[in-house]
Structure 1
Amino acid sequence: MKNIRNFCIIAHIDHGKSTLADRLLEYTNTVSQRELQAQTLDDMDLEKERGITIKSHAIQMDYEYKGEKYILNLIDTPGHVDFSYEVSRSIAACEGALLIVDAAQSIQAQTISNLYLALENDLEIIPILNKIDLPSANPEEVTDEIVNLLGCKPEDVLRVSGKTGAGVHELLEQIVERIPAPKGDENAPLQALIFDSVYNPFRGIEAYFKVVNGKISKGEKVKFMATDKVYEADEVGTLKLKQAPKSEIKCGDVGYIISGIKDAREVKVGDTITSMANPATEAIDGFEDVKPMVFAGIYPIESEDFEELRFSLEKLRLNDASLVFEPESSAALGFGFRCGFLGMLHMEIVQERLDREFNMNVITTVPNVSYYGYSKKEPNVPILINNPSEMMDPIALDRVEEPYIKATIITKSDFVGAVMTLCIEKRGEIVNQSYLTSDRVELVFNMPLSEVVFDFYDRLKSISKGYASFDYHPIGFRASKLVKMDILINGDMVDALSSLIHDSNAYYIGKKMCEKLRELIPRQQFDIAIQAALGSKVIARENVKALRKDVTAKCYGGDISRKRKLLEKQKEGKKKMKQIGRVEVPQSAFMAVLKLND
C-alpha cells in the first residue's frame, strides 16, 4: 500500500489537463507511441470534437523512483462547471490533486471552485503552472497569484508544459514525494467505494471502485450495500488503457468489477461493495447526492419509443450519475421524462449523447428550474413546482419562492461595467468586488437561478470577449413576484412552452416569444394567432398569415360582385379550416426560447 498513489487532475476548462495527462502516460510508458494520440483519455467523439472533457477517466501507471516501483492511479476530470459532480466523485477516490493553472490565462472561477472541493476532502494539493512554453505566458505573476490563493511557497509551484513535456519528470517525482499513500486496513472486512460505472452491451455493467479496506478477489461473492443485492465477482482488474484482469485488488488500489449485472438501477455511484464471507457492518460515507439545477422535459418524437427512451436514459445515467429523470406527460407531446441537469451544457451533451449513442430522436422542452409555491390556506407548507403547468391558481396562491445562487465571476478590469450591467439586468445583487491583481477582478453576485439558465453564460462570454469565467453554487430560496406565462396557438395552450417568469420581464419576454414563434411556425392554409397570456389577460400577439390562392385570377374584367362572391367563398373555407386545422409546432420553436436575444 505504501507504494500506491491515487490522484486526480483538477483545473478550469481548457487549462491543459488532458494534454498533461497524455505526457504522464507517455513518460511512464503506460501507452505506447503507436497508441498515443492527442487527449488519449477523452475517448468520446463528442469530447474530441468540442475539445472538452465530459467524463472523468481513471488509468493506472507504473513508475520507478529511487529503485522502488510505484503504482500511480490517475483520474482525469472535466473542467466545466456543469460537470463538477464528476469532479467531486473523482476527488472522493483520491488522496492528492494536481491543481493546474494556465500560465497565460491565470486563475479562473472553476479553478477556485475545484480547489475548495479538494480542500474539503483533505487532499494534498500540488500546484502546477502549465503552458509555460506559450509566448503569452506570464509565469512570475501567475505564480504570485497561486501563492496568494494556496498560501504555499513560490518554489512549491511546479512549472511544466503539457505540449513539450518540460518539467513532467519532476512532476512525477513530486507526486511520489508529496501525495500520501492511501490509508486503510488490508485485513479488515472489504469496503470498496464505487465512483463510476459504464454499460457494456456484452458483459453488463462494469463498476469502477476504490478499495478503502480489505481486498476483493475474483470469484468471491460480493454485496452492493445500497441495493442489498449479491453477485459473484466474475472479473476484477485494474484500469490500464484497456482493462487488465487480476486475481485480486488490494486495499488502496483502484479497479473495476464485472459481475453480470444487467439492470442499470442496481448500481449506484457512491455505493459500497462488501464481501459476503466477511461483510462490513456499515457503508463508506459516499459523496452527497447530486442537486440538479435545470429541468427540462425530454419526449420521444414517436410515442411508441417511450420505453426505448427509458432504457437509453437508464444506461446513460450509469455513465453520467448527475442525470436525474422521472416520467411525466404533456398534452402537446404525450409521454416523456422530466430530466434534471447541472446546467445548459450538460443538457446539450445529454441530448447529443442520446442521439449518437442510442439513436434516440427526442424533443426537449424549454428548460426551467424548480420553485416552491405556498397557498393562502396553508402558508407554511411548501409545494414543489417543477413545471409551470403545476402552478396553482393565482387566487389561491400566497407567494412563490425561487432558487437563488451565489455567482462568482472573474474577469479583466476593462469589462467590469459590462458584466455588472448584465448581472443587474438579470436581477443580480452585488455582494463583493475584489481585485485579485491590478487588472483581474472577482465579482460576487446573488442571482435568481432562473435568470442564469437561458443565455447568461453565452452573453457573459461575448461581452467579456471570452475572458470572464463563471462559477456558482445554490444559496437557498427567496420570495419573488413570479407569474405564469402561457403561449396560445389558435387559442390552444401549448403547455411545453409555458414558463414562470418575473413580473417585470413578462411583457418583454411574451412579445419576444411571439415574434420568434411567428418566424418559426410554417404558414398554413389559415391564419394562425400566436398569443402570450398571463392567466386570462393577453399581453402580446402575432399573426402568421394564411397561404392564399388567387381565386379571382380567372375573372377577366366583369362585375365586382362576382369577384366578391369568390372571395367570400374562400373566406368561409378558411374559417372552416381554422376550426378543424391543427398547428404542428416544430422542435426549433421549443429551443428558440433559449435564444431570444439573438
Structure 2
Amino acid sequence: MVDKSHIRNFCIIAHIDHGKSTLADRLLERTGTISEREMAEQVLDSMDLEREKGITIKAAAARMLYRASDGQEYELNLIDTPGHVDFAYEVSRSLAACEGALLVVDASQGIEAQTLANVYLAMNQDLALIPVLNKIDLPHAEPERVAAELERVIGFSRDEIILASAKEGIGVDEILEAIVARIPPPSGNPNAPLKALIFDSKYDAYKGVVAHVRVVDGEMHGRRNLKLMSTGAVFEPLEFGIFSPGMRPLEGLAAGEVGYVATGLKDVAECRVGDTITWADEPAPEPLPGYRRAKPMVFAGIYPTDSDQYQELRDALAKLVLNDASLVYEPESSVALGFGFRCGFLGLLHLEIVVERLEREYGLSLLTTAPSVEYRVQTTSGEEIIVDNPADLPDPSRIAVISEPWAKIDVITPSRYIGQVMDLVTSRRGQFLRMEFLEAENELAPGEARVLLEYDVPMAEVLVDFYDQLKSSTSGYASLDYQVKEYRPARLVKVDILVNGVPVDALSVITHASNAEKVGRTLVTKLKDLIPRQLFEVPIQAAVGGKIIARETIRAMRKNVLAKCYGGDVTRKRKLLEKQAEGKKKMKRVGSVEIPQEAFMAVLRLRE
C-alpha cells in the first residue's frame, strides 16, 4: 500500500480543443506509464468519434508513478473529464473524486465560456487549481495577454501560471512538480466504514458493470458483499484494480486511491455516476453528497429509414444503453414514419454522438425528428402532464398553462460582435442579465477585448441551430455554455402540418404563439418544394387548433388526354376532359402522398 501522503488525485479541465488529451499523453509518456511502442495520439480517447471530433466523450482514468525532485515516489491518479457542457454532471463527479485540477487554457485563444463554467465547478468543490497556458509554441500565441486575463478574471498570481506546449513537451516537468507541491494529499479515514464515489461506469461482457471509483473512507478488498447506497443494489465484487491506463487487477483499494471494481451487475442503471459504494453488512451512515440522477433534456424520435431494420435498431439501442445510463428510450409509432423510438438525451452533442454511433457501429440508416424539450402542461381538470413530443400535446381547449424550460447562457465574444450576439439572442426571446469585459480595450486592436454576456433563453430556442448561428455571426470567435435553470409559463401552441387534409404527426412543432404564423408559413413553403408533384392537386396547410394559418398548393401533373384528337367535335374533347377530372377527384380521395425524408429535415432547418 502506498503512503496516503504520497497520493495525488487530479483532473484536467479545459474548453474543447485546448489540448487536454494531448497534455494527458505527455504526462503518461513522461512518467513511463506507457512505453513509446504503445503510445498513440490521445491515448485516453479510445473511441474513433472522440479522435475525429477532438473531444472527450467518456471520462477515463490512469495511475502514474512519478519520482519527484525531493527523491520520493508519488502515485498520481489522473481522472480525464469530458469537456462539453452536455456532460457537466459527469464533470462535477470527476471533480468530486479529486483534490486538485490542472486548468488548461489555449495561449492563442484565452478563456472560453466552458473554461469559466468548469472553473466555477472546481471552485465549488474547493479544488487546488494549477493554471497551465498551453500551445505557447504556436506563432500566434499571446501568453502574456492570456496570463493577464487569468490574473484578472480568476485571480491567479503571475508566478502560479505554468507556460507549456503539450505537443512539444515543453513545461511537462514543471506541471508534474506543481502537482506534487500544490495539490494536497487525500484526506479520509482508512478505519471508517467504506465510502467510495462512482465517477464513471462501463459495461463488460464478462465482468458485468465495471464501476470507476475513488475510495474516500475505509478500504475495499476480498469477496465481502458491497452495496450501492442510492439504488440499494447488493453485489459480490468480482475484481478490484487500477487503470494504467489499461485495467490492471489488484488485491484491493485503500482510502485515497482511484481504481475500479467489477460488480457483476448486468444493468448500468443500477450503478449510477455519483452513487456511493459501501459494505452491505456495515454500511456508512450517509452517502457522499452531490448525487443526482442524470436527467435527459433533449428528446427526439429515431426511426429506421427501412422499416425492416426496426429490430436491429432496438438491439443496437439496448447495447448502447449498457455503456450510457443517461440515454433513455421507449418505443413509439408515427403514421408518417412507422415504428421507431422516442429517445432522451443530455443535450444536442449527446444526440449527435448517439445517432452517429448507431449508424457507424451497427450499420443502420436512421431518420431523426426535430429535437424537442420537455414541456409541463397543466390541464383544465388540474392534472399535470409531461410532454416531450409535439404530437402528444393535448387539445388547446384542455390546456390551462404550458411551462417550458429556460436556460442561463454565457457567451464570450470579442467586443466588436456584441451587436450581432445581442440581435441573435433577442430574436430567440432571450432576456439580458449582465455584461462584463474580461479584458481592457487595446488601442492598437479596437474591438478585440473579450466580453462575457449572460442571458436567460428558452431552452427550445437554443436547441436546433443556435450554436451554428452564433458561430457564423461572430466569425467563429464566440464560445457558449448553458445550464438549465427553471420552468416558466409561456404562450405556446402546436403547429400541425396537414398534407392533402391528413395531419402528419412527425412534422408538428411546438412554438411561441407570436412565431406560429411565421413558422407555419416557412414550413409549408419548404414542403411545397420538397414533396414531389402527384397526378392530383395536393394542398399543404399549417394549422393551430382548428384554424388554418398558412397554405400552399402543389399543382397536379397533367396528362394531355386530347393528344389523340385531330380536330373533330368539341363535345368529344369535353367528354374526355370531364372523365379526366372525375378520375383526378377520385385519386385525390383515395391517393396517398409519399413524403420524402428531406421534408422531415426541413423542420430542423426552419430558420435558415
Q: Same fold (TM over 0.5)?
A: yes
- 1:159 offset after TM fit, Å? 0.9
1:366-394 superposed Cα distances (whole Å, 9 cap, x missing partner): 2111223334454xx64433332333332
1:564-583 mapped onto 2 (5 Å cutoff):
564-583=574-593
Of residues 48, 55, 59 in structure 1, which corresponds to 2:58? 55
Aligned residue number for residue 351 of structure 1: 355
One of 12, 34, 38 as aligned partner of 1:35: 38
Secondary structure of residue in 1 paired with 2:438:
strand
Deviates more, 1:134-143 or 1:318-327: 318-327
Look up the SS of the partner of 2:110 in the other structure. coil
Deviations 1:282-308 (A, max 9, x none): 332343333433222234556676666
- Cα distance in 1 for partners of 2:541, 2:507 equals 12
For the Cα contact (< 8 Å) 1:409–1:443, is it kept in 2? yes
The equivalent of 1:397 in structure 2 is: 399
Distance 2:35 2:254 in 1: 27
- 1:22 corresponds in structure 2 to 25
The answer on whether the counterparts of 2:162 and 2:171 sit within 8 Å (CA) in structure 1 is yes
Q: Aligned partners of 2:192 and 2:159: how far apart in 1?
A: 40
1:142-201 per-position Cα deviation (integer Å, ceiling 9, x unaligned) = 111111222221111111111111111100110111111122222222222222112233
Opposite residue 199 of structure 2, the aligned amino acid is: F
Partner of 2:238: 234
Q: Mark the CA change 1:511 to 1:250 in structure 2 (over 3 Å): closer, same or farther.
A: same
1:509 maps to a residue whose letter is V
Partner of 1:517: 527
Superposed CA deviations along residues 193-236 of structure 1, whole A, max 9, x for unmatched, are 22211223344322211112222225443233333333322222
Out of 446, 461, 464, the position equivalent to 2:471 is 461
Structure 2 residue 498 is the aligned partner of structure 1 residue 500: no
CA distance in 1 between partners of 2:523 and 2:470 (Å): 22
- Residue 546 (structure 1) shift: 4.0
Partner of 2:445: none
**Percent identity, aligned pairs only?**
55
Query: Aligned letter for 1:415?
Result: Y
- For residue 423 of structure 1, what is the aligned residue in structure 2? 425
Q: Secondary structure at the match of 2:86?
A: helix
For 2:293, which of 284, 289, 292 is the aligned residue? 289
Query: Secondary structure of 1:226's match?
Result: coil
Contact 2:226-2:235 at 8 Å conserved across structures: yes
Contact 1:218 1:246 (8 Å CA) reproduced = no
Q: TM-score, normalised by structure 2?
A: 0.92
| 1:575 match: secondary structure | helix
Helix, strand or coil: the match of 1:14?
Answer: coil
Q: Shift of the alpha carbon at 1:357?
A: 3.0
Q: 1:277 and 1:405, CA in 2 relative to 1: closer, same or farther beyond 3 A?
A: closer
Instruction: Spell out the pairing of 1:76-475 with structure 2 (5 A cutoff).
Output: 76-276=80-280, 278-301=282-305, 309-310=313-314, 312-376=316-380, 378=382, 382-437=384-439, 438=441, 439-475=449-485
In structure 1, the residue matched to 2:496 is: 486
Quote how far apart the aligned CAs of 1:591 are. Answer: 2.7
Output one character per residue of 1:543-586: Cα deviation in whole Å (capped at 9) or x when no partner: 33444444444444544544444443333333333322333434
Query: d(CA) in 2 for partners of 1:234 and 1:85?
Result: 28
Counting matched residue pairs gives 596
CA distance in 2, matches of 1:353, 1:108: 28
**2:5 aligned counterpart, secondary structure:** coil
Report the more deviating stretch, 437-446 or 368-377. Answer: 368-377
Q: Distance in 2 between matches of 1:76 and 1:558?
A: 86
Q: How many Å separate the matches in 2 of 1:278 and 1:579?
A: 72
* Cα displacement (A) at 1:7: 1.1
Compare 541-550 and 446-455 and name the one that shifted more: 541-550
Separation in structure 2 between the aligned mates of residue 477 and residue 228 of structure 1, nearest angstrom? 31
Distance in 2 separating the partners of 1:114 and 1:368: 26
Closer/same/farther in 2, CA of residues 140 and 571 from structure 1, 3 Å limit: same
Contact 2:267/2:322 (<8 A) preserved: no
Paired AA for residue 54 in structure 1:
I
TM-score, normalisation: structure 1 = 0.93
How far residue 361 of structure 1 moved from its aligned partner, in angstroms, is: 4.2
Question: Match of 1:76, as an amino acid?
Answer: D
| AA in 1 matched with 2:142 | N
Could you tell which deviates more after superposition, 74-83 or 582-591? Answer: 582-591
Shift of residue 593, structure 1, vs aligned partner? 1.4
The AA in structure 2 aligned to 1:472 is Y
Relative distance call for 1:245 and 1:558 in structure 2 (3 A) is farther
5+ residue gaps, structure 2, are: 442-448
Distance 1:95 1:591 in 2: 46
Which range moves more in the overlay, 562-571 or 54-63? 562-571
How has the CA–CA distance of structure 1 residues 100 and 420 changed in structure 2, closer, same or farther, with 3 Å as cutoff?
A: same
Counterpart Cα distance in 2 of 1:206 and 1:301: 35
Unaligned runs of 5+ residues in structure 1 are: none
Question: Contact 2:269 / 2:325 at 8 angstroms: preserved in 1?
Answer: no
- Residue 418 of structure 2 aligns to a residue whose secondary structure is helix
Three-state SS of the structure 2 residue aligned to 1:53 is coil
Residue by residue over 1:501-541, the C-alpha shift from the partner in whole angstroms, topping out at 9 and shown as x without a partner, is 11221111111111222333344444332211111111112
Secondary structure of the structure 2 residue equivalent to 1:577: helix
Contact 1:264–1:315 (8 Å) recurs in 2:
no
